[in-house]
Structure formats: structure tokens, C-alpha cells
Amino acid sequence: MQVLYPNEFLSKAENTPVVDVRSPAEYAEGHISGAFNIPLFSNEERANVGTVYKQQGRLQAIELGLDIVGPKMSGFVKEAQALASSGELLVHCWRGGMRSESMAWLFERVGIQCFTLKGGYKAYRNLLMEELGTIPHLIVLEGFTGSGKTEVLQELDQRDEQILDLEGLANHRGSVFGGVGQGEQPTTQQFQNNLLAALRKLDREKRIWVEGESKSIGRVSLPDSFWKNMNQARIIEIEVPVEERVKRVVKDYGMLERPQMEKAISSLHKRLGEEQTNMILELYQTDKLEQVAAMLLSYYDKTYRYSRDKYKKSDASINLSGINSQEDAGKLVEKANELKL
């Protein structure tokens, strides 16, 4: 059994299966992207062992653990053998302690070479915070709501530019309407873990584009280190005519489920006031979608200006049509090259 530091562990995980032996609840809260869960204890069993440890002591807790695990050992081995097609597995628990050591020992008894994670999942999370805070050539794409930043970002990806799709990873488009028509969001931990996995596929010595976001995207939050990195990064602000932004908002949101859209509009009543919220709802219910979009953009434009003026200073702004994302992406690449980003 070999112990690897987190960076070594993740590098080897590119070609070797990762086995997370923590409980199902721990795994569900957040796990290394692509890891498989072979839990040493169920959620209830883990809680019982913890209670015995606190009330009776370490030895009694180990004895209870052995009683629980004994009948399950054969099943653990079969699951591990099904995963270890290359004869190797990466194994980890929360702190890199008894759970991962015990399972790795068991797997090695049947000929599977195991590598454990020094410091466990906790050390992995520390590495995550460090790596997401040190992206030297990050470019943040800013702009008013409806400017088509997401489409332009996707077009940059098609041009072999490097991107991090935060909204895609979060399964949310950012505003109070961002979850309408989307599936369930991941947990914050899992979102951050998937963000690290996406980053590690890129070359950090080259520029990486990301769309400007709030610290929270729906129910998930950006890591503090990454948020700080974004606020210190180079910023290009795109400017698109308001009439094109209205059209885009209608196109993106006009055909979504009405009950969810009405609920989202109603949720703005504390910010817009009852009178204006009711006016927007009435317009929406009578299919006057362009007027709805224009009123909502007026609100979001004010919040964007406040945030931009207080926290961010763009390195450059560029006028884009908002009609042709391919053409707009080309102009952005030219601007980035001109600025030597």
C-alpha cells in the first residue's frame, strides 16, 4: 500500500478508479469527481460506531466496527475487483485513517494494488481551495443580463479557447429565473469538486475564459479562493444593444413553464415592490413578453452597475452585435490578443 499526496492522487486518478469508502451521506454531500462509493459503514452504522467511540472508547468502537464489517467483506472485494480492471485502485476516506487503510488492506489481500490519499478527502478539499485560487491567466467575461455571454463562451470553446462553464457546472443560469427549466443542482461541495476537475483538464499556463457571476449561482457557492481570483482577474466587458438583449431574454425564457416563471417573478416583490411585481405578472400573463423582459432588464441593469462599479474594473470593453455568437467570439479573441492576455 502506497500513500500519495493529494496532487499525486489526482494525477493518478486520470487513469485509475477512485474508491471513496466513506458513508453514503458523506459521499452524497461531495466526492472527488468520478469516484465510486464502496462504503465501509452505512450512515446508521457510522453513527453507531461514533456513539460507541464517544461513550465507551476507541477499542470498543473498533470491535463494533469489526462485527459490522466482517459479514460484508466478501461483497467489498467483489465490488473492488469489478472496478480494478488494471489491477490498481485509489482508496480514500475523510482523513486518510482507519477506514481507507482497512479497505486498502482488504483489497490487497486479493491482489489489487492500492494507493491511499494522505490526509483523505479533507486534504483534497484543501488542495481544491489552493488550486482554484491560483489561476494566473483568467479572463472574466462581464456584461449586462441578456448579452449572450454564455453563447459566446460556448463559441470560444469551439475555437479551442479554454473555458470554465460555471453555469453548466451549477446547472443554473444565475438569476432568480436561472433554475427554471433546469434539473436539480448539485451540492455546493460537488459543484466545487466538479469545477476543480474541469480546471485540471486545462492548461493553466494559457488563458482561461469564465463568465462573470455572483458568488452564489442558485443554491451553490463559488469557493472563496476562486471568487477572489475572479475579482483580481482581467475583465473584458461586452456591450450589446438593449433591443437585442430583450429579444434574447424572450427567446431564452419565454417558452419555459409558466407556473415556475410566475413563481420566480413573484419572488422579486421585496426588491421591486408589490405594484411593479404585479404589473410584470399581468404583462407576463397576457403574453406581453418583450415588455416583461424590458422591465426585468431595467432592474437587473441597476444591480449589475452597482456591483461592477463597487467591486470590478474592466480592462477593456467591446461592442458586440449580440446576434452572431461566432462573429462576437472572434472579436473577443482579437481583443484578448490585442491586450496580450
Active site residue 114: no
Contact predicate 280/298, CB 8 Å: no
How does DSSP classify residue 90?
Answer: E
Locate all alpha helices (DSSP H) within 110-241, ordered by sequence. Answer: 120-132, 149-158, 166-170, 188-199, 224-232
46, exposed or middle or buried, with CB in 10 Å at 0-12, 13-18, 19+?
buried
Contacts of 109 (CB under 8 A, 6+ apart): none
Comparing CA positions, the residue from 208, 244, 212, 243 lying closest to residue 324 is: 244
Q: What distances in angstroms separate CA 222 from CA 124, 202, 278, 300, 305, one per listed residue?
A: 17, 19, 33, 21, 21
288: left (phi over 0), alpha (psi -120 to 50) or beta: beta
Element (H, E) at 19: strand 18-20
Among 4, 19, 64, 93, the active-site one is 93
Element (H, E) at 111: none
State residue 164 phi and psi, 5-degree precision.
-120, 115
Q: What distances in angstroms separate CA 257 from CA 39, 96, 237, 252, 253, one per listed residue?
A: 39, 46, 31, 12, 9
Q: Which three cell numbers stand for residue 108?
A: 490487497
Element (H, E) at 37: strand 36-37
Active-site residue list: 93
